[in-house]
């Protein structure tokens, strides 16, 4: 049984607990067998059969963490992982003061990513997304929610979701696919919005369900670039009829009542929430809807931060994710998102880490396998070159993740100090 000893801080993130409850053990050890954790706790309590010091009998390698931090593998519960092209030209234009409506009127914005994504084959989509996943694993990420939504036709939505299925397997993070056919109305339906909503509800979602390609159904509630409330409701209710749990891009650019709508539709999460109202927060607390905040997108779009403190006080669980996409969040650096959640949103480092582990796992249906470390759970963890969570998120620097392990297999870096 492999054994990790001399862990400076072992963050376990127990499923039960408040937003800041890390379940931290100082001076810890952890043992796993195959893909499953068998023991963890203070180093001094390590069972003799797992202890390899001084010739004690054991049957697996022992790794000396040198006082480093060990955390549950990070969960990025909101990404748009597979897409064509980038939009650096828009970044430059926005930096020079050009607004999104003008960019969209020139054929830019989400529509340009739709064109570039449709031009890619399933293999090309999988290869490119697979490259991003390798980068994510090197940051300590072991599970990723990934949305479609740049296809917006039966053929192209299925192509993206099939590419995600192709990527699932050993060595890759655990993937949770979401159908985001309700991202926007594509150009060819500009004069027939209802026609597109019918396509989503009567053709795309049933086809996705037939192949079992998505666990969740998502929509972008934002009159203008996205869908209105009636269109959003039609899409998410159709997803529900086909066995997909609702998620919702809500209250990002305007307070469109998205949080309340997400709560009333039984959505597992409402994401963004920069403009959420107090009534929206109350409705989420009552329904148990998880808030997913996306600080990288907030920085790129220069949005006011969502009222995380009011959410936590109201009893809403808050997850932190990247929103990785080629427009508003061209970075999959989840640890950066955690640092920004502290700086811009008033989260403590402990609250942010729980938001990218336990709460994030719950927001994408992975609470049984990801987000917490305990005997009997999968050995999905990361060794971080810092003594504790505060030090980790305080220093934003390269190469902080020393090793990432998924199901007992080291998939990035290497476990330190093999004895």
CB-nearer residue toward Zn ion: 39 or 83: 83
Count Cβ atoms below 10 Å from residue 65 Cβ, excluding itself: 25
CB-nearer residue toward Zn ion: 222 or 388: 222
CB-nearer residue toward Zn ion: 222 or 323: 323
| DSSP state for residue 412 in the 8-state scheme | E
| DSSP state for residue 201 in the 8-state scheme | I
Q: How far is the CB of 249 from Zn ion (least distance, A)?
A: 5
CB-nearer residue toward Zn ion: 323 or 385: 323
- Mark the segment that binds Zn ion (CB under 5 A) among 90-98, 322-330, 358-366, 370-378: 322-330
Separation CA 219–CA 196 (nearest Å): 13
Residue of 55, 56, 12, 60 whose CA lies nearest to 34 = 60
Q: Binding pattern to Zn ion, positions 32-51, x when CB under 5 A? A: --------------------
CB-nearer residue toward Zn ion: 157 or 323: 323
The secondary structure of 85-104 as a DSSP string is: ---HHHHHHHHTT--HHHHH
Q: Which residue is nearest to Zn ion (CB)?
A: 323
Q: How far is the CB of 324 from Zn ion (least distance, A)?
A: 9
323 binds Zn ion (CB under 5 A): yes
Quick one: which H or E segment has residue 262? helix 258-264
Q: How, if at all, do strands 381-384 and 401-406 pair?
A: antiparallel
Q: How far is the CB of 306 from Zn ion (least distance, A)?
A: 14
Q: Binding pattern to Zn ion, positions 150-189, x when CB under 5 A? A: ----------------------------------------
Q: How far is the CB of 394 from Zn ion (least distance, A)?
A: 27
Q: Which residues of 161-177 are buried (b: 16+ CB within 10 A; e: fewer)?
A: bbbbbebeeeebbbbbb
How is residue 363 written in tokens? 């927001």
CA-angle at 82, arms to 260 and 254, nearest 5°: 30
Q: How far is the CB of 206 from Zn ion (least distance, A)?
A: 24
Separation CA 416–CA 419 (nearest Å): 9
The beta-strand segments (E) located in 53-185 are 62-64, 69-72, 74-76, 141-147, 174-182
- Mark the segment that binds Zn ion (CB under 5 A) among 30-38, 41-49, 185-193, 316-324: 316-324
Q: Binding pattern to Zn ion, positions 267-306, x when CB under 5 A? A: ----------------------------------------
Q: How far is the CB of 183 from Zn ion (least distance, A)?
A: 9
Number of residues that bind Zn ion (CB under 5 A): 1
CB-nearer residue toward Zn ion: 150 or 392: 150
**Residues in touch with Zn ion (CB under 5 A):** 323
């Amino acid at each position: 049984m492999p054994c990790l000893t001399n862990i400076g801080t072992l963050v376990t993130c127990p499923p039960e607990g408040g937003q800041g409850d890390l379940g931290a053990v100082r001076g810890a050890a952890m043992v796993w067998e195959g893909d499953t954790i068998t023991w963890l706790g203070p180093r001094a309590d390590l069972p003799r059969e797992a202890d390899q010091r001084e010739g004690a009998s054991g049957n697996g390698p022992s790794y000396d963490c040198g006082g480093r931090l060990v955390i549950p593998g990070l969960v990025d519960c909101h990404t748009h992982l597979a897409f064509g092209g980038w939009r650096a030209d828009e970044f430059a234009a926005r930096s020079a003061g050009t607004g999104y409506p003008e960019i969209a009127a020139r054929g830019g914005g989400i529509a340009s990513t739709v064109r570039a994504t449709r031009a890619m084959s399933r293999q090309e989509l999988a290869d490119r997304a697979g490259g991003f996943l390798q980068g994510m694993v090197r940051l300590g990420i072991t599970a990723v929610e990934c949305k479609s939504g740049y296809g917006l036709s039966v053929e192209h939505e299925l192509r993206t979701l099939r590419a995600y299925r192709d990527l699932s397997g050993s060595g890759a993070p655990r993937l949770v696919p979401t159908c985001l056919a309700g991202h926007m109305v594509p150009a060819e339906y500009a004069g027939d919005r209802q026609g597109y909503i019918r396509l989503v509800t009567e053709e795309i979602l049933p086809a996705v369900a037939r192949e079992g390609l998505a666990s969740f159904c998502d929509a972008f509630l934002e009159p203008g670039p996205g869908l209105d409330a009636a269109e959003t409701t039609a899409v998410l209710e159709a997803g529900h009829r086909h066995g997909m749990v609702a998620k919702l891009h809500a209250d990002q650019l305007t307070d469109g009542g998205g949080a309340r709508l997400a709560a009333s539709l039984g959505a597992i999460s409402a994401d963004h929430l920069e403009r959420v109202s107090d009534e929206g927060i109350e409705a989420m607390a009552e329904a148990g809807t998880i808030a997913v905040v996306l600080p990288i997108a907030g920085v790129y779009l220069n949005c006011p931060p969502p009222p995380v403190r009011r959410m936590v006080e109201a009893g809403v669980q808050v997850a932190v994710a990247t929103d990785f996409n080629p427009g508003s969040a061209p970075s999959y650096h989840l640890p950066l998102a955690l640092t920004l959640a502290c700086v811009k949103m008033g989260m403590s480092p402990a609250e942010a880490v729980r938001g990218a582990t336990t709460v994030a796992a719950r927001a994408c249906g992975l609470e049984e396998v990801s987000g917490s470390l305990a005997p009997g759970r999968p050995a999905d963890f990361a060794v971080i070159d810092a003594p504790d969570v505060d030090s980790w998120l305080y220093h934003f620097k390269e190469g902080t993740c020393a090793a990432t392990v998924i199901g007992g297999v080291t998939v990035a870096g290497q476990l330190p100090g093999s004895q």
